């Protein structure tokens, strides 16, 4: 399985450049990690629970799918985060910590037959807290305790997307 880097988290509540700066600062201050690895873990856990552990071989580090010699005739499952942001749904410019925030996350996955160099399956998962009856979250709560709630929201979304992508892969015909 391969992984590509995601963009730093962003806070969408005004000017795009200001939001990016805030997101980069939060990523650095709270040591936020690219959630793609968590998607992969959730995906593998769900797939293994359905197929059994002997049917998967996990390569410990990313491989180049363009080079079949590194993995033989295997299928490569790739994950790419393309949305990773907290958006303000009720901004409070006087008391920013009271601003109401929602989380948006998007990850794409595909399965490639390395020998044939052909994509066999491709799917995306969008996780938007406001569409799943979660949140909004107060900005102050998200950033308290070194961003513990923020990390929890991100991890939950990534795990759910991993499960959803595995289920989609297994149920497509």
Q: Which of 15-19, 38-42, 122-126 has the lowest mean pLDDT?
A: 15-19
Residue 173 has pLDDT above 90, yes or no: no
pLDDT at 101: 87
pLDDT at 60: 66
pTM: 0.81
pLDDT at 2: 42
Q: Dig out the tokens for 164 from the structure.
A: 């959803």
pLDDT at 159: 95
What is the residue whose two structure tokens read 């996350």? 105
How crowded is residue 15: how many other Cβ atoms within 10 Å of its Cβ? 9
pLDDT, tens digit (0-9, with 9 covering 90-100), for 100-143: 888 889 999 998 887 788 899 999 999 999 999 998 998 899 99
pLDDT at 27: 80
CATH number of the domain encompassing residue 29: 3.30.160
Most confident of 38-47, 90-99, 110-119: 38-47
Residue 145 has pLDDT above 80, yes or no: yes
What domain range is 70 assigned to? 2-171
pLDDT, tens digit (0-9, with 9 covering 90-100), for 147-162: 999 999 999 999 999 9
> Quick one: what percent of the chain has pLDDT higher than 70?
79
Q: Dig out the tokens for 73 from the structure.
A: 């005739």
- 149, exposed or middle or buried, with CB in 10 Å at 0-12, 13-18, 19+? middle
Alpha-carbon span 62 to 136, nearest angstrom: 35
Question: Contact 33/3 with Cβ under 8 angstroms?
Answer: no
Provide the 3-class DSSP secondary structure of residue 153: helix
pLDDT at 166: 94
The tally of domains found in the chain comes to 1
Mean pLDDT, rounded, of the chain: 81
pLDDT, tens digit (0-9, with 9 covering 90-100), for 75-94: 788 899 988 888 887 777 78
Alpha-carbon span 99 to 91, nearest angstrom: 4
């Amino acid at each position: 399985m391969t992984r590509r880097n995601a963009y730093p988290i962003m806070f969408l509540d005004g000017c795009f450049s200001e939001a990016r700066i805030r997101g980069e600062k939060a990523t650095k201050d709270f040591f936020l990690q690219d959630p793609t690895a968590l998607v992969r873990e959730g995906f593998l856990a769900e797939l293994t629970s359905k197929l059994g552990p002997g049917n998967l071989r996990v390569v410990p580090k990313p491989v180049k799918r363009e080079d079949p010699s590194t993995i033989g005739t295997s299928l490569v499952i790739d994950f790419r985060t393309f949305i990773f942001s907290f958006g303000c749904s009720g901004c409070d410019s006087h008391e920013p910590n009271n601003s109401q925030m929602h989380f948006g996350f998007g990850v794409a996955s595909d399965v490639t037959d390395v020998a044939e160099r052909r994509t066999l399956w491709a799917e995306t998962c969008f996780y938007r807290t406001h569409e799943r009856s979660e949140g909004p979250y107060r900005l102050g709560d998200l950033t308290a305790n070194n961003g513990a709630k923020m990390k929890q929201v991100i991890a939950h979304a990534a795990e759910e997307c991993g499960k959803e992508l595995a289920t989609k892969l297994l149920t497509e015909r």
